[in-house]
Structure 1
Amino acid sequence: MRLRRLWALVRKEMVQIVRDPSSIVIALVLPVVLLLLFGYGVSLDARHVAVAVVVPEPTQRTASLVTAFANSPYFEVEELRDRRPAEDGLVSGRYRGVVVVADDFDAQASRGLDAPIQVLLDGTDANTARLVKGYAEGVWAKWLGYEARDRGAALAVPVNAETRVWFNEALESRNFLVPGLIAINMTLVGTILTALVVAREWERGTMEAMIATPVGRLELLAGKVIPYFVLGMGGMALSVAIALILFQVPMRGSFWVLTVVSALFLVGALNLGLLISTVAKNQFVAGQIAIVAAFLPAFMLSGFVFEPSSMPLWIEALSHIVAARYFVTCLQTIFMAGDVWSVILPNAGALLLIALVLALVTLKRTRKSLE
């Protein structure tokens, strides 16, 4: 490899980027758009869930129970007197849950007897149903405590659980999802940057001119990777800034660790794009392969939304060849927990190994010929 030729190739790519700003759009604009769409659109939190509270015989005690549900940030409460319209609303999807208070609720509670309430849930969305069930149980437990204190009695609880939440004290799913979104975005951006650019050169015939020069395969690949690596890291920095400033995601780790891990991942993504371009010399085909080979595995198998350990064994094993799985783990650790080396080093090593394998396979597949 001659540095003079390499620098000439890098300058050529930079001039091409300036003349055709689609690469800048992919590297800088696309991550922002995707981060905003996914950051605001994807959430595992259930807030302002519509529920109906059926109280056939209103009393002061039932009114306090309804108020406890209404004061919860998780519920939008509508109080009803009849059970039938509540059930109809549950069937039609108007309510996600129905809380039914018995006719003799106040009388039973006044005599110190069991006065249960019934909670009906819409189980079509199992995750939301579980969340609503947990929220309802929490409201019920707090209300029982308030009632006991009002009577001057102690609530008999055999076990007192004191919960301490580490790393995400506010229990905001956004703090968990946004770092994963950065990995998903950089997977798509890094792969498309090189896959489409090289495919476009084949379509325009400029790649044939490059083949006729004395440029070696390693120089050709490095000349492609370096400019788009700089562009991709710029998109990465912009995504991190949005995560910290706009979404208020905590950053407990070091920026230099984040930079090193991101660089390892981006090198692998760019080499994957180059590998795709050796197979597909058409932009449309290259884009489709990039989505199937990079975006979908990163979205489904990286642990961004779905935990790999909960998947079938063979799918979990397949997820180990997806670089985004290790990058998502590093990002979530750096943002939420800090520089936990027992987590970062093994995953960074896996990213380095994947990047080297992709680089070697791409170099082997690259031929200075029209075939």
Structure 2
Amino acid sequence: MLIRIWNMVWKEIVQLARDRLMTAFIFLLPLVQLALLAQATGRRIGDLKVVVLDRDRTAVTRALISDLDNQEELAVRYYVDDMRELESFLDLGKADVGVVFPRGLTRDLADPTRTSQVHVLIDGSNAVVGGIASGAVSAVFARYEQEQLRARGLAIVPPIDLRLTTYYNPTYNTRYFAIPAQVGFIIYQITLAVASLGLARERELGTLEQLIVTPLSRLELVLGKAIPAFIIGVVNFIFLLGVTVHVFGVPMRGS
């Protein structure tokens, strides 16, 4: 019995090895799935792009910018001259964090009677990234205050009032970025399954050979099979989009 089973197994292996298309499908499909899942659920939290608006332009603000850039999770990439330009970087996804140093910040830090404010804008569309960015920026300014305590030999220094504003997902709701990513993955699986089952059904019914001998070119045959699967995918996407918005409460905003 074992010999017969082994012969059957060997026959399947040989057939798979001879079918280059199937072999490529077996190895490439998991790779594509892994890439989609990694893009949806994982990201190296060490390259969060920071855009800076420095209205004070002093040695103190330059030192704070350097501290932000040296923070493991952050990287200062852009400098802008006005608030509208800074917000556009967040709107277009070019930056994850925006930091605004107001005029007179250095003067306020030197006066114990004044409160120093720094405005931080965070892209919260990805709740995980937004939360980490918020913690990283807060850590930088907390460390700066501790360094000032040691440098001045004081028991207290004027605190920095860090005003955190989260765009797009203020409550860091993980549904807002996880569910749309899952919808894309589900549509991909359904479309692929429909196309695969269509070819399997043609072969089972014995009509695949008839299609091969027709005047259809390979491209026409592939498009003829792919377009219905694409249409089904679009219909499913519209349906799941409605469920995502009206059942799970995920807002769909933007252009």
**What TM-score, normalized to structure 2?**
0.51
1:199 aligns with 2:196: no
Q: Which residue of 2 aligns with 1:104?
A: 104
Q: Give the AA of the match of 1:49.
A: K
Mapping of 1:56-205 within 5 angstroms?
A: 56-59=56-59, 61-73=60-72, 74-79=74-79, 82=81, 84=82, 86-91=83-88, 93=92, 95-112=95-112, 113-121=114-122, 125=125, 127=127, 129-153=130-154, 195=197, 198-199=200-201, 201-202=203-204, 204=206
Question: What's the offset of the Cα at 1:58?
Answer: 0.9
Q: How far apart are the structure 1 equivalents of 2:4 and 2:10?
A: 10
Q: Does 2:19 align with 1:20? A: yes
The answer to whether the 8 A contact 1:55-1:103 is kept is yes
In the alignment, the residues of structure 2 paired with residue 7 and residue 197 of structure 1 have an alpha-carbon distance, to the nearest angstrom, of 29
Change (3 A) 1:21 1:58: same
Counterpart CA distance in 2 for 1:192 and 1:24 is 20
Secondary structure at 1:116's aligned position in 2? strand
Give the whole-Å Cα distance in 2 for the aligned partners of 1:196 and 1:6.
30
Unaligned runs of 5+ in 1: 157-180, 207-282, 301-310, 314-371
Q: Percent identity?
A: 18
> Is residue 56–residue 101 contact of structure 2 (8 Å, CA) maintained in 1?
yes
Matches for 1:218-229 after TM superposition, within 5 Å? none
Q: Deviations over 1:48-102 (max 9, x none)?
A: 413114142413x33321221121241224456x5x2x43242254554432223
2 CA distance for matches of 1:199 and 1:3?
Answer: 32
1-side partners of 2:78 and 2:123: how far apart?
16
CA distance in 1 between partners of 2:67 and 2:12 (Å): 63
Spell out, residue by residue over 1:223-273, the C-alpha distance to the aligned partner (whole angstroms, 9 max, x if none).
Answer: xxxxxxxxxxxxxxxxxxxxxxxxxxxxxxxxxxxxxxxxxxxxxxxxxxx
CA shift in 2, pair 1:198/1:116, >3 Å: same
Distance in 2 (alpha carbons) for counterparts of 1:200 and 1:15: 23
State the distance in 2 between where 1:95 and 1:196 align. 44
Instruction: Give the AA of the match of 1:31.
Output: P
Change (3 A) 1:114 1:196: same
Take 1:30 and 1:56, find their aligned partners in 2: how far apart are those partners?
53
- The secondary structure found in structure 1 opposite 2:120 is strand
Output the CA distance in 1 between the equivalents of 2:86 and 2:103.
Answer: 21
Letter in 1 for 2:111: R
- For 2:87, the aligned partner's letter is L
Assess if the C-alpha contact under 8 Å between 1:99 and 1:118 holds in 2.
yes
Contact 2:54/2:61 (<8 A) preserved: no
Q: How many residues align?
A: 193
The 5-angstrom pairing of residues 1-371 of structure 1 reads 13-14=12-13, 16-36=15-35, 39=38, 43-45=42-44, 47-59=47-59, 61-73=60-72, 74-79=74-79, 82=81, 84=82, 86-91=83-88, 93=92, 95-112=95-112, 113-121=114-122, 125=125, 127=127, 129-153=130-154, 195=197, 198-199=200-201, 201-202=203-204, 204=206, 284=225, 288=229
Cα 1:129–1:11, aligned 2, differ >3 Å: closer, same or farther? closer
User: CA–CA distance in 2 between the matches of 1:193 and 1:288?
Assistant: 6
SS at 1:103 equivalent: coil
Q: RMSD value over aligned CA atoms?
A: 5.3
Query: What TM-score do the two structures reach when normalised by structure 1?
Result: 0.38
Structure 2 equivalent of residue 333 of structure 1: none
Task: Specify the code of the residue in structure 1 equivalent to 2:141.
Answer: W
Write out per-residue CA displacement over residues 103-158 of structure 1, whole angstroms, 9 at most, x where no aligned residue.
Answer: 222222222242121223456x36455554333222222222222222234569xx
Counterpart residue identity of residue 121, structure 2: L
Question: Is the 8 Å Cα contact of residues 105 and 117 (structure 2) preserved in structure 1?
Answer: yes
State the one-letter code of the partner of 1:63. Answer: R
Supply the AA of the counterpart residue of 2:69.
A
Measured in 2, the distance between the counterparts of 1:3 and 1:201 equals 30
Instruction: Flag the 1:91–1:155 CA change in 2: closer, same or farther, 3 A.
Output: same
Contact 2:100 2:119 in 1 (8 A): yes
Structure 2 distance, partners of 1:200, 1:5, is 30
